[in-house]
Chain A
Amino acid sequence: METVLALLTGTMVAGSVFLMLGKNLVRFIFGLMLASNAVNLLIFAAGRPDTSRPPLIPQGSLQPVAAVANSLPQALILTAIVIGFALLAFIFILFLRAYQQLGTVDTEAMTNSESGNQDTAPSERPRP
């Protein structure tokens, strides 16, 4: 099980690094999604997945009746997914705005338009 997870995580990280190193921001988002899922898998593997029984206490008893899965990694992953989701929503909107304002999703083209707006006082800000 761990071997499979480790291989899968490795493949996903490799793919995500490939995507993130490209100069297209849309590719970067996909790379980021892949990477955050790879990290989630890593946390899951670190929690030593051994049984498939959910960590629930049946009605009427005070403790689990049989060995159950470790629930903490799942809680950590859930939190990480929630946060990742919120960040992703934000980054989508930001990149959409960047595309609308700068007219490109190419990071090199963005950097090249650097000159000329070093000093942007609020009074001279363009409004969308």
Chain B
Amino acid sequence: MPSFILRAANRILVGLILVFSVYLLLRGHNAPGGGFSAALVAATGFALFAIAEGPQPVRQALRIDPLVLVAWGLLLAIGSGLMAVVTGQPYLTGLWWPADATVDTPAVGTPLLFDVGVFLAVLGTILTLILHLEES
């Protein structure tokens, strides 16, 4: 039986960690952060969850199999590069909307999509590993 304190703190901590990981993910393009580190932080959150409650509740909370996350992450990362090919530029060239966006104006671009793909793929891989090891 895991400690009561850990389980109680877990409820707040996991939420905070996950929010922080999303912040890291979105911040990534112009400042330190990005998909990989965000995924590591998110995985830490889920690992904490798994230590406190066991692997089964984590699977239930996730709702989808981590391997599906890997698959969608891969597809998203590959697809984000293909958009540049459609417009006739080399694979993986960054495209931005609006095109004249600077650092100060908010913009959405394919690098962000790529980052989300990396995030999903890395998170899925680490979760698969952690849950697998916890269950064995």
Contacts and interface: CB of A to CB of B under 8 A. Distances in A.
Report A-B touching, CB under 8 Å: yes
Contact of A59 (B32, B36, B104, B133): B104
A93 B103 contact: no
Contacts, number: 11
A15 to B, nearest CB: 27
A56 B129 CA distance: 34
Interface of A: 56, 59-60, 82, 86, 89, 93
Contacts of B32: 56
Interface residues of B, number: 9
Contact of B133 (A56, A82, A86, A93): A93
A33 B31 CA distance: 30
Given A56-B31, A89-B129, 9 more contacts: A56-B32, A59-B103, A59-B104, A60-B103, A82-B36, A86-B125, A93-B129, A93-B132, A93-B133
Interface in B7-55: 31-32, 36
Nearest to A100: B136
A82 B32 CA distance: 17
A19 B126 CA distance: 28
A50 B129 CA distance: 39
